[in-house]
Every structure is written in structure tokens, then in C-alpha cells.
Structure 1
């Protein structure tokens, strides 16, 4: 008899818990809570749910935050550079997408990031702002810090305006 996806999930979670460390359990709880928040409509996308990403978007600036947990650690137990780039893209792209007219959206065409420092603190914060507002392209910049104000990276990005898909 073939097992269902639900049965496979239940079996895998049981196996993981049987051999888990405290850190494994913390990561699993983090991921499951994110999935629950996605189901509850708190997050619209799985990446936001997985990272527990929250954002504030005003007309000219944005702020995106994620907690620093083992989920985003690299091998030296600090935030992975790809995650830092991801929240920079979310802060800049989220702000850019709110600027364009109804029926349009943006896609990232280019992003550069310079890493300055790392942190073992509690939160990553990306703050995006406009550099240029064109009809077809938007240029943005972003500072990434921890909750103490320590600058971790700076990023720039270009976004192309596209018609929203149905």
C-alpha cells in the first residue's frame, strides 16, 4: 500500500525527533511555526514564513526584519550572506513594487551587495530607499544592520517594471 504525503511527513518528523539535538528541535519549531503562520494568512509567501520576515513599507522607505536563528546560520554560526542578500532584495523590491501603478509589478534585474561585518545578535534589519524612479526601471539602495545599528552590508538594486500576470 502506498503512503500519502501526510504519512510521509509524520514518519519523517518522528524520525527527526528521535535523533534530534536541541538545535534541531529549535529549527524544526521555527519552520513549523512559519508554516502555520502561512496557513493563517500572516505570510503570503513561503520564504517570508520560513524566515519569519516582517516588513513596513512607506511611500519612500521600507524596513524588513528577520530574527537571527540557526535557520539562517552559515558554517561559522553567523547569518548566511545569501540570507542577507535576500532581505535586501525584499526591502528594495517590496518598496519598488508598491510604487508602480496598479496592474504592474517589478522584477530584480541587478543587485550588488558589499558585506561589511557580521553579527551574532538577534535580528537582521534591511532598510530600502529609492535612488531613481524611471518609467521602466527603478534603482534602489539598502542598508542592512542588526538591532544594535551595526552596519552589516550595503546593497543596490535595479528593478524592471512589468505588467502583472493574470
Structure 2
């Protein structure tokens, strides 16, 4: 008999916890609490839940924040460049998607990021803004910093307006 998914998860968690380091436990707690937040409706997407992403969107600017934890570290224990790009894309794309008419959304067509510095501080903050608002394309810019104001990266992206898919 093949074990159920829940049985597989329970076995895997038992094995992981028996051999876990404090860092393993920190990461597991982070990811599991993210899934709980998704279940509770705090986050609509698993990526936002896994990263503990918080966003604030105004008509012309946005701010997306995530905690810096081992979940997002690269091999030198600083935030992974792909995660920095993901947070920048969320800040710019979230702002862009809120600017289009009802029934439409946006997709990223291009993103460019220049990395400036690393950090071992506590939070990544991406602040998005408009460079160009067209009917079919939007061009955005974003500064990514830590909570001390240290500039980590700058990004630009283009977004294409599409008709929203039916759920």
C-alpha cells in the first residue's frame, strides 16, 4: 500500500526534526507559518506566503518588504540575487497591475537588475514607481534596500497589459 500524502509529510517531518540544526528548524518554522498564512487568507499566493511578503500600494508608488532569513540566503549567507529580483518584480508588477482597467492585468516582459551591495541586516525593501504608463505597456523602476537604507540593487521592468483570464 502506498502511503498517503499526509503520511509521507509526517514521516518526512519526523526525519527532518530528528536530524535538524537550529537553522533547519528556523527555516521549517518560517515555511510552515507561511503555509498557515496562506490557509488563513493572509496571502493569496504561496510565493508571497513562503517569503512572508508584505506590500503597500499607492496610486504612484509601492513598497514590498520581506524578512531576511536563511530561507533566502545564497551560499555566502546574504540574500540571493533571484530573491531580490523577485521582490523587485512584485513591487513593480503589483503597482502596474493596480493601474490598469478592471478586467485587465499585466505580465512582466522584461526585467533588468543591477546589484550594488549585499546585506546581513533584517529586511529587504523594494520600492516601485512608474517611468512610463501606456495603454499596452508600462515601464517601471525600483530601488531595493535593507531597513537601514543601504541600497542593494536597482531594477527596471516592462509590463504588457493583457485581458484578465477567467477563473
Structure 2 residue aligned with 1:141: 141
Structure 1 residue aligned with 2:118: 118
Structure 1 residue aligned with 2:127: 127
Q: Which aligned pairs between 1:1-166 and structure 2 lie closer than 5 A?
A: 1-166=1-166
Distance in 2 (CA, whole Å) between partners of 1:2 and 1:144 is 47
Distance in 2 (CA, whole Å) between partners of 1:137 and 1:14 is 49
TM-score (ref. length: structure 1):
1.00
Deviation at 1:118, TM superposition (A): 0.5
1:22-47 Cα distance to aligned partner (Å, 9 max, x none) = 00000000000000000000000000
Distance in 1 (CA, whole Å) between partners of 2:136 and 2:6 is 45
Secondary structure of residue in 2 paired with 1:125: strand
Distance in 1 (CA, whole Å) between partners of 2:22 and 2:140 is 40
Distance in 2 (CA, whole Å) between partners of 1:96 and 1:36 is 28
1:129-159 Cα distance to aligned partner (Å, 9 max, x none) = 0000000000000000000000000000000
Structure 1 runs of 4+ with >6 Å offset: none
Number of residue equivalences: 166
Alpha-carbon RMSD across the aligned residues, in angstroms, is 0.3
Distance in 2 (CA, whole Å) between partners of 1:2 and 1:73 is 35
Deviation at 1:2, TM superposition (A): 1.7
Secondary structure of residue in 2 paired with 1:124: strand
TM-score (ref. length: structure 2):
0.99
Distance in 2 (CA, whole Å) between partners of 1:4 and 1:30 is 24
Distance in 1 (CA, whole Å) between partners of 2:82 and 2:149 is 20
Deviation at 1:73, TM superposition (A): 0.1
Deviation at 1:62, TM superposition (A): 0.1
Secondary structure of residue in 2 paired with 1:6: helix
1:67-97 Cα distance to aligned partner (Å, 9 max, x none) = 0000000000000000000000000000000
Secondary structure of residue in 2 paired with 1:20: coil
> Where does structure 2 lack aligned partners over 5 or more consecutive residues?
none
